[in-house]
Structure 1
Amino acid sequence: MDDFQKAEARARELRRELAHHNYRYYVLDSPEISDAQYDKLMRELQALEEKHPSLATPDSPTQRVGGAAVDEFGEVVHRVPMLSLANIFDDEGLVEFDERIRKLLGIPNVTYVCEPKLDGLAISLRYEKGVFVQGATRGDGTTGEDVTANLRTIRSLPMELLPQDGVKVPGLLEVRGEVFIRKVDFQKLNEKREEEGEPLFANPRNAAAGSLRQLDPKMTASRPLSIYLYECVPGDGVPDFKSHIEKLEYLKTLGLPINRYVRAEGIDGVRKAHDDSLKGRHELPFEVDGMVVKVDDEDQRRRLGQVSKSPRWAVAYKFPPEEESTLVEDIGIQVGRTGALTPVAHLKPVKVGGVTVARATLHNEDELRRKDVRRGDTVFVRRAGDVIPEIVSVVPSKRPADSKPFEFPKHCPVCGAVAVKDEDGAIIRCTGASCPAQLVEKIRHFASRIAMDIEGLGDKLAAQLVATGSVKTFADLYALTREKLLTLERMGDKSADNLLASIEGSKQTTQRRFLYALGIRHVGDATAKALAEAFPDVKQLFTASLEDITRVKDVGPVMAQVIYSFFQEPQNREAVQALLEAGVKPEPPQVATGGPFVGKTVVLTGAMTGMTREQAKEEVERRGGKVAGSVSRKTDFLVAGDDAGSKLKKAQELGVRILDEQAFLQLLQGNARG
């Protein structure tokens, strides 16, 4: 057995072992090893995959951080339609439901299964030979959206089934369930968003649905999603179940996470289960807005069938909302790290559902106007989804005579820069490049690899530099001294010297990197490239008109307005000028007129030793080439580094010219940059 075969076998073993420990930790809440031991196994697998990239399979635990972003979700047609539940709200509705079931079946009593009704997003999962291959939202019940990449980031969802007690893995298993966020995770998520000045999620369901439908799986991976499964459809190797409970236990034996449930005999059993659920709703670790009541017997379900898009054999017994009235003592504006201005109502403390509520988010200016919330108002407050306080409505009859509508600020309350609305008109953001509320995130972005590429300046160091007052603007980075750096935590002589060298080296940069580093909203790497080509000198943007910017390739009216507003803000022009005076020299783009890369499409794959993937991309583009992400018949060169995988194979099949790293570097060196 050669080295690669040994690595492949060990990687397979590590994936199985990590999947087992994920199941013990996230599903059973009964870990068998410490976090440190788990991390050690993960690091070993990561090392193997870095050495042999072809081992980084989609089902690997290392891939849960998310793959590449997509332009849009594909469609998935459900093999069996996903139904939605009809609602009932009181005992009268329950009696009617039970009577209808008994009459249709012609029996005196029915056995039900009662489950907490999760406030999340319904999904369908497909496993083939025990391996997770596809996941989709419910959509319209017949066709949903393909969110496979995002579902892979959920740690409680096994990428490979883990059968127990001798259960055979089915050839095809399609299961349905709910993606949700636990209460404690939702609270932490909103606390983080509040710190960053992002609008708070109104409830866990909105947060779960929004997270699962992110086009960038890395964003989904940053959200604490969980999943419970409660249904499966007939498939190759799936047993014929006699009861719903038998089905749930089967899913459990495959290592799939299922929700708690109780068997209820007749309507009196359901009443007791509902009373118990209502009393214990706040003790549950996840959000519920009711209880699902289902007929247990599978044959009875088939006989009952469905009406429209809802099954006759199940219903959602909704809980009543919890509301209280209180006084709005003040309305304030919070500014976060992304510059979002969020209105927050400060309330006279009141208990809602057993929790004291003193603040409620008003989300954005439009929401504030729609509800017309003012200082001194008496309002009804609901713990939306039992977690986030939400102002439901105002009591106009109790409004003070001298009440005035709240005036949303036109300037940032922290730094005074102009505040402008996003393109969708929902969020108002500060445009200040040196706004203290945004500074940590802006410094981190400024120093990132595809911006100014200051190695060693990450989140923690950026936070330290801002917290100690060492850095208040971008230009302050270039005034840092060895003595000042050595006063910071965990900063030794060598680290300080390396950081200072990296900062000094970043002064020689390109106009493209420089514009991207400024952190202008909507200006990504591609837009920065187009702007650099249109405005080789950054100072040209100081005097460029809105029309000038709109004429730039791929810059639409909305984006142009954002860029124009950025350079019209005096604070931002001062920040750019200070960087130039500190010695930063953005090099204008150089147009290649000849050479092997002009007009060519290049694909990069595998690991390179002489430069990073980003550097290689930049060098190709400087020479008039285009770097694509996938191999096609239009590909001119494939640059294959170590452990090149499927792209190399496809290039060979299509007859694409293949360059190893040495040949690629020789082509670069033989072609002048200008």
Structure 2
Amino acid sequence: MPRRLLRALHGAALALPLLLHCTASLADRCPDWSPARAERELHTLATQIARWDSAYHRDGQSLVADALYDQARARLAQWNRCFPAAARLPDALAAAAGPVAHPLAHTGLDKLDDAAAVEAWIAGQGDLWVQPKVDGVAVSLVYQDGTLVQAISRGDGRHGQDWTANARQIAAIPATLASGRGRLVLQGELYWRLPGHVQAEAGGVGARGRVAGLLARQTLSAEDASRIGLFVWDWPQGPADMHERLDGLRRLGFDSPDYTRAVQHADDIAAWREHWYRQPLPFASDGIVIRHGQRPPAARWQAAPPHWAVAWKYPAEQALAEVRSVEFRIGRRGRITPLLHLQPLQLDDRRIARVSAGSLKRWRQLDIRPGDQVAVRLAGLSIPRLDGVVWQAGERAPLQVPDPARHHPLSCWQAREAGCAGQFHARLVWLSGREGLALDSIGPGTWQTLQDSGQLHGLLDWLTLDEAQLGALPGFGAQRAATVWRNLQAARQRPFARWLRALGLPPSGSARLAEDWRSLATRSEADWLGAGASRRQARQLQAFFAHPEVGALRSRLQSAGVAGF
């Protein structure tokens, strides 16, 4: 049951309040926009959602993850409330509907946000059941006198596409059932077979979009058909009692009753949700469905979320994030890394306020500006990762982008050089860090204070600072000034090899290093090759020692009495 269809089933008036709370990552705030900009931004988002709807329902292509789609619709609903004069409501119903009427309506599902909401929903009620919310595409199967006569895509819940021809190629859909005479209607999910799939580890892996795309084709190959499974999640006109209904589905040959469990308490529901999230299943799933065994007669069902069933989805794999600003950080060797500052959001148990765009090349390809909406996920040890741009803002803010040609391993030795503050600061942080001189209590904040005070113009100007100068800095005071001064003075005693690394010596590989500056500075490229460096390393090392700014640093250290210089 694709969640995106829920918007169409409700209609605009019912959709908005439900969408507003679909994710805690969406802050309940109104953008500070002029009426003209609000018109542009709402039009941009509504057009994007309409494009997604058309591709999904008409072409069988899932252009955006369901969780991001949900959040995008929630974002549009929020903006509609903020700017009612510019409100836009994409016509998801038109995109979802097909030419074939369902014999019985497909209901959607409301979503519960957390365990407390589950507790409230089941309060005082019995005859409760749970099953995995299979991540596939919903279908009606119609049998007449035991023979499959029609397969209809979910569409808008009332009308869908005729999938009968392709359904006949799928072995998981029985061509005949031992069901006696008359009409029998089943509702279920066609899914991509994923033996041993663990949702918590692998996520959705695009399984839903793959099935939707295959079924939208005119023909279905035997190989693809063999990879599609069927999960029957309801027998609308079956026995009223759930036990009898499940027994009947088993006799008809379906395995979905094996994944339908009776529960009594919220703790039971949470336990099954955790179990199915972390244990192998033969399909992708995006949560669980909680339902009452008893429900109204099928003839009264509506294409809208019912009162007898809800979904409790798994933790979001991705979150929609609004870009507030773009910062271009320059590393000590001149690498430019765009950093996106985000409207803070919660993903799993992490608060995320920024994410790296990786490289300047990738940023340029994506062209990310303030106001754009991007997809973020947690990777590795809960590290935020940028997945891509979901849609771009209607208004493109200009940005000052550093010129990569001006930043390289031998640039920005002086703070006063235009555009060099970032790279110069990175050089200082490296110099005092663990890979450099390993100076205690001297980190990025200390260097920034010294830079802001105008005390540092060159990389080694701190060698001549005294305690009084440090004590006069904002936030220092006598004790901190004494500690910082003592640690800075200790740098003079660091070994020559550490000083080389601290100054930014290029990688030397297996090359043998001498114990004094003169021996290294007089080496030619050929000498470095003979010492064991690669050709690229030899060029970089020779250029490093020949650079005039590096030579000036050597003279400064020589005057300060640092050994080896």
TM-score normalised according to structure 2 size: 0.38
Alignment TM-score, normalising by the size of structure 1: 0.32
Which protein has the larger Cα radius of gyration, Structure 1 or Structure 2? 2
